[in-house]
Structure 1
Amino acid sequence: MQDLQPFTTSHSNINQLWASLLVEELIRHKITDFCIAPGSRSTPLTLAIANHPKAKEYLHFDERGLGFLALGLSQASQKPVVLVTTSGTAVANLYPAVIEARQSAIPLIVLSADRPVSLLNCGANQAIDQHGIFAQYPIFFTQIVQPSTEVSPNYLLTTLDHGLNLQRNTPAPIHLNIAFAEPLYPSQSCIEYQPYLRNVSKWIENNQPFTTFITANNDRLSRSEELNDKKIIVVLGKMHCSQQAQAVSAFCQQHDLLLLADIQSSQAAYPANLHYYDLFLLNPTFKGLLEQADLIVQFGEQLLSKRLSNFISDADGELWLVNASETRIDPNHQLDKRFNCHASDWINKQQYSPSVKNKAWYQSLHVCHKTLAKQVITPFLTAQPYSEMTVINTLDHLLPDNSSLFIGNSMPIRLADMLMKENQSTIYTNRGASGIDGLLASAVGVAHNSNKITTLLLGDTSLLYDLNSLALLKSLTMPFIVIVINNDGGSIFNLLPVPEKQKNRFYQLPHGLNFKSSCEQFSIDYYNPNQLIDFQETYNRCLQGKHSLIEVTLLNQQSATQLDQLKEQIEHATL
Structure 2
Amino acid sequence: MLIVFFTSCKCRLLIKDALCCSSQFSARFSPTLAVANNMIDRFNLTSYYENDCPNINTLWASLIIEECVRLGVTYFCIAPGSRSSPLTLAASAHPLATCVVCIDERSLAFNALGYARGSHRPAVVITTSGTAVSNLLSAVVEASEDFVPLILLTADRPPELLDAGANQAINQVNHFGQFTKHFFGLPVPTDDISSRMVLTTLDSAVYMATTSPYGPVHINCPFREPLGNIQTTWESRGLKGLENWMSTSEPFTTYSQVQHSVSSNQCHGLMAELVKLIQGAKQGLLVLGALHTEDDIWAALLLAKHLNWPVVAGILSGLRLRKYMASFSEIEENIIFLDHLDQMLLSGAVNDWMQADVIIQIGGRLVSKRISKMLEGCFPCSYIMVDKHPKRHDPSHIVTHRIQSTITEFTVCVTKACIPHDNTRWKAFLRALNSMAAREISSLIDLEQSLTEPYIAHVALENLRCNSAIFIGNSMAIRDADMYGYNWAKCTHETSEMLSSGFQCHRIQVAGNRGTGGIDGLLSTAVGFGVGCNKHVSSLALICISFPRFHFLISDSSFFP
TM-score (norm 1): 0.42
Indicate the structure whose relative CO is greater, using CA pairs within 8 Å and at least 6 residues apart: 2
TM-score (norm 2): 0.43
